[in-house]
Amino acid sequence: MNRKNGSVARLTAIMLVVGLVGLSSVACARHGSPAAPSSAATSQAAPAAWADPTASTVAGPESPSASPASAASPQAPATTPDPLDSELQALDQVVNDVNGSISSIDPGSSGGE
């Protein structure tokens, strides 16, 4: 009789342990544990990345310099290049080209003539 009671108690203890392990694994899966990835975890991450498209276009999603404030700032479109920048660069290039043409002539050389 004592032996029968002992085996029932052992069986109950084993079932209790198995139940606890099952519950804990389900809980881990719901919280996105890396040990137990699930489709639920990835589907929750995606909308977070789509939430602020300016964050990825202005500074990149993983840029360390991108602060949350600047990413969410309504002034983000102000980073559009100023046309005057390219116009001034074109002027610098014009001067360089003229200088290059003048420098191509070495007044001290006759080229053997």
Partner 1 sequence: MKTRIPVLISGLAIAGALALSSVATATATGPIVPGGLAGRGVCATQFAAIKAPVNVEALRAFGDCEIQRRFTTLDALAARVSGSKVLTSSDAAALSGEIATTRSGLTALKATIDAETSVPALKTDVALIATRFRVYLLVAPQVHLVSAADGVLASQGSFAKVNTNLAARIAAAKAGGRDTTAAQADLDAMNAALTKAVGLATPLSATLLPLTPAQYNAGTAGPVLTSARTALAQARDLLKSAVQDAKACRAALK
Instruction: Note the residues at the interface with partner 1 (CB under 8 A).
Output: 83-84, 87-88, 90-92, 94-95, 97-99, 101-113
Q: Which is nearer to partner 1, 33 or 89 (CB)?
A: 89
**What is the rounded distance in angstroms from the CA atom of residue 66 to the CA atom of residue 76?**
11
CA distances from 110 to 68, 99, 105 (A): 65, 20, 10
Q: Measured from the CB of residue 27, what is the shortest distance to partner 1 in angstroms?
A: 58
Q: Which is nearer to partner 1, 45 or 102 (CB)?
A: 102
Q: Measured from the CB of residue 78, what is the shortest distance to partner 1 in angstroms?
A: 14
Q: Measured from the CB of residue 85, what is the shortest distance to partner 1 in angstroms?
A: 9
Please enumerate in sequence order all residues whose Cβ is within 8 A of that of 55, keeping only pairs 6 or more positions apart, or say none: 61, 66, 71, 72
